[in-house]
Amino acid sequence: MLRVLCLLRPWRPLWARGCASDGAAGGPEIQVRALAGSNQGADLKEREQMSEAEVGVFVQRLRGLMNDIAAFPAPTIAAMDGFALGGGLELALACDLRVAASSAILGLIETTRGLLPGAGGTQRLPRCLGVALAKELIFTGRRLSGTQAHALGLVNHSVAQNEEGDAAYHRARALAQEILPQAPIAVRLGKVAIDRGMEVDIASGMVIEGICYAQTEFHCCYPDWSAMARSQLTATSTFWVQAILLPQPPEYLGLQERTTMPS
């Protein structure tokens, strides 16, 4: 099943976060989620009316929204048909795949306003483009067209805009239709293996891949296994992945603890 979340301005982090993290929204029947919007980004005029405390809460909720989108179990696709500046691009960076109209305008422009990307932009952009290029784009606050963004690898696809102004949305739906026929469990575990593997060294990443592969093999061999048993297997695999990501410090035995001399 494909589910589309259309973001209309003005949008609120709390409302959008509820849509992204809703338990039912992440159910096994949802195989792909597309996020579409014509012009997205934080409303700076609204922000000017906030107190310092309110700004802190707003940014925290916005960051939480981006993390919820990034952690969504099914693939997510961002479709950008207009402006995606600041928070709008940060939202797109939290998605797995990005599609932009050639006329779309993208950028992390916070430095031109005396601010810093605060909803994951400083972390996700370098992971997408590399450190040097991400620094250049953030330091300069440069705006890119959809065509330029595609040339840099910031978006997966750039398409010519149509008269209706929703060319990226339709391309995103077509991309989702390519994903939908594939085995949903394999796709979800592929996302886990890639996302988790990028956080660790390659040796640990290979272990994560092996854990995820074992799950897909089990589901393939035992498709009628009970849902409870599948959830227990997933929980066990999650435990081992977390154990790799957050290893406990080893306990070493010093020479003074030996009771016998080696032969």
Q: Which structure tokens are listed for 62?
A: 């916005």
Q: Which of 41, 82, 87, 107 is catalytic?
A: 87
Q: Which of 16, 34, 42, 104 is catalytic?
A: 42
The mean per-residue pLDDT over the stretch 19-41 comes to: 55
Percent of the chain with pLDDT over 70: 64
Banded pLDDT at 1 (limits 50, 70, 90)? low
Output phi, psi for 3, to 5 deg.
-120, 135
Of the listed ranges 11-20, 86-95, 123-132, 182-191, the one predicted with least confidence? 11-20
Is there a catalytic annotation at residue 42?
Answer: yes
Q: Which structure tokens are listed for 145?
A: 């067209």
Between 1 and 51, whose confidence is greater? 51
Q: Is the pLDDT of residue 28 over 90?
A: no
Is there a catalytic annotation at residue 54?
Answer: no
In 155-263, the DSSP E strands lie at: 157-159
Q: Which of 110, 120, 176, 197 is catalytic?
A: 110
Residue 256 pLDDT: 43
Is there a catalytic annotation at residue 53?
Answer: no
Torsion-angle region of 41 (φ positive above 0: left; ψ -120 to 50: alpha; else: beta) = left
Q: Which of 79, 90, 119, 120 is catalytic?
A: 90
In whole numbers, what is the pLDDT of the chain averaged over residues?
78
The mean per-residue pLDDT over the stretch 76-86 comes to: 94
Residue 245 pLDDT: 56
Residue 53 pLDDT: 77
For the chain, what's the residue count?
A: 263
Q: Is the pLDDT of residue 193 over 70?
A: yes
The residues, any chain, with a CB within 8 Å of residue 32's CB and separated by 6 or more, are 1, 2, 3, 74, 75, 76, 77, 176, 179, 180
Q: Is the pLDDT of residue 249 over 60?
A: no
The mean per-residue pLDDT over the stretch 6-12 comes to: 50
Is there a catalytic annotation at residue 87?
Answer: yes
Q: Is the pLDDT of residue 181 over 80?
A: yes
Banded pLDDT at 217 (limits 50, 70, 90)? confident
Q: Which structure tokens are listed for 49?
A: 């009316």
**Helix pair 202-221, 184-197: axis angle to 10 deg:** 170
Percent of the chain as helix, strand, coil, to the nearest 5:
55, 15, 35
Q: Is the pLDDT of residue 89 over 80?
A: yes
Residue 57 pLDDT: 83
